[in-house]
Amino acid sequence: MKTIKSFFILTLLFTLGYGTYFYFHDTDGPLALLDPSGGSITRKTPITLTLNDETSMLAQVTIVLIQDGKTVEILNKDYPENTPIAREEIDLSKQFLKDGLLTLQITSRDRSIYHFGDGNTATTSFQLIRDTRPPLIEVLSTAHNLTVGGAGIVAYSIGEVVENSGVQIGDYFFPGHQQLSGDYLCLFTFPYNADPEEIPQVVAMDEAGNQGVGGFYYRLKQPKFKVDKIPISDRFLKRKMPQFQDFFPQAETPLEVFLNVNRILRPKNRAWLSDVAAMTSDSFEWSQSFLRQPGAATRATFGDRRHYFHNDKEIDQQTHLGIDLASIARAKVPATNSGTVVYTDIMGIYGQCIIIDHGLGLQTLYAHLSSMAVEVGDVVERGQIIGRTGATGLAGGDHLHYGIIVGGVPVNPIEWWDKNWVRNNITSKLQLSSEQ
């Protein structure tokens, strides 16, 4: 009891002492915070000033704008008693300003009894750079022949340092990669599921938030995708669905698990490809076309519209976004070009899979493997055996599901197997970024 009492007395003394200390020792003016506190702004960037003086309360603020030696007062305001915090939106859109450096000088006063009751005054200056010009983009490559579901590359230069740049097609964005020359290369796909009316454009955003747009000439071909009927047997469902049951514990029948795998797990796994796409180098470390697994027959192609049937009733539709290659069971799988291994593990519908990065967002996917012979970080050569085919994940029988991915979006591998296509559409445009 005695200890509790002395603890209380101590706390009381401490609180009193602390309060007294502050009452007589607030010799600082209010704290002024500006958001943004520096860097670049556009004509429209919202600027917010926050003033804080919880000790002595706010009395008054003056905001002065300075550019090229000219001074304009843009706010002079008194605060009512007991105002600890104030927020002021600063609107510079009506000021006559030039692009370049400008200063906002904030002078504020509190209600401290110091200075014979005049309070403490604090002055803080913030320097901002006004930038209202969008980045200027010059497209260096010409004649872009695109196919829906296929790839293309664009070379461009930008007149200033930017935060990001790349190719925008509808909601899809493919980041560009700056080269040693200072110019940029952007490998992109006209996505298999994008509206053919969308217009691909090079976009760039500077630090202030100004967006520049650069158009480029292109031709777009719409391929005819195959329509495939796929019967789903009860035997297949009983054999393959137990491994996916954990993902969907509420699903009551193997058919229900299958539909969940198709409609929920499949899109999730595709979205995951976008995360893997970020693990890419800024240049290609290959120059030849891509290999095709030797001796294997093509069982399914890119873009196949698959209609799934169960007991003669259509139950679902999906698009096949790779090429299925089948030969013997546990066939050797070669790396189809040189690159760096960025993923080796089990991933949903793909089962055991390997992803190799080939630079500029270009990656190859090897799915349903029975074994894997490489690890993340390994640098592999074109033709090097990286694993063996299998039927892991959502596969009915032993085969290789081979995918080529551009910026996280599957593309048609056929183009990359054709050395003329690779030369005409990809490698011949790479030099453009280094020619001055």
Which residues contribute to the site for Zn ion (CB under 5 A)? Answer: 322, 324, 401
- Of 299 and 423, CB closest to Zn ion: 299
Q: How far is the CB of 279 from Zn ion (least distance, A)?
A: 23
Judged by beta carbon, residue 53 or residue 324, the one nearer Zn ion is 324
Question: Minimum distance between the CB of residue 229 and Zn ion, rounded to whole angstroms?
Answer: 16
Q: How far is the CB of 367 from Zn ion (least distance, A)?
A: 7
CB of 143 to Zn ion, least distance (A): 33
d(CA 410, CA 12): 69
Question: Minimum CB separation from Zn ion for residue 320, in Å?
Answer: 6
Q: Identify the sign of the CA torsion 408, 413, 417, 419.
A: negative
- The alpha helices in 221-293, defined as continuous H runs, are 234-240, 242-245, 254-260, 266-277
Q: Which residues sit opposite 402 in a β-bridge? A: 323, 366
Query: How is residue 97 written in tokens?
Result: 């300003």
Quick one: 111 or 401, whose CB is closer to Zn ion?
401
- Decide: residue 225, CB within 10 A, 0-12 exposed, 13-18 middle, 19+ buried: middle
Integer Cα distance of 356 and 323 in angstroms: 16
Return the closest-CA partner of residue 353 out of 368, 331, 332. Answer: 368
Centre a 10 Å sphere on the Cβ of residue 381 and count the other Cβ atoms it contains. Answer: 11
Element (H, E) at 417: helix 413-417
Task: Please report how close the Cβ of residue 412 comes to Zn ion at its closest, in angstroms.
Answer: 13
Q: Which is nearer to Zn ion, 299 or 382 (CB)?
A: 299
For Zn ion, which residue has the nearest CB?
A: 401
Cβ neighbour number for residue 84 with a 10 Å cutoff: 15
- Cβ closest to Zn ion, residue 169 vs residue 395: 395
Distance CA 262, CA 266 (A): 5
Nearest distance, CB of residue 323 and Zn ion, angstroms: 7
Question: Nearer Cβ to Zn ion, position 306 or 382?
Answer: 306
Residue 208 three-state SS:
coil
In the complex with Zn ion, which residue's Cβ is closer, 254 or 303?
303
* DSSP, res 202: E
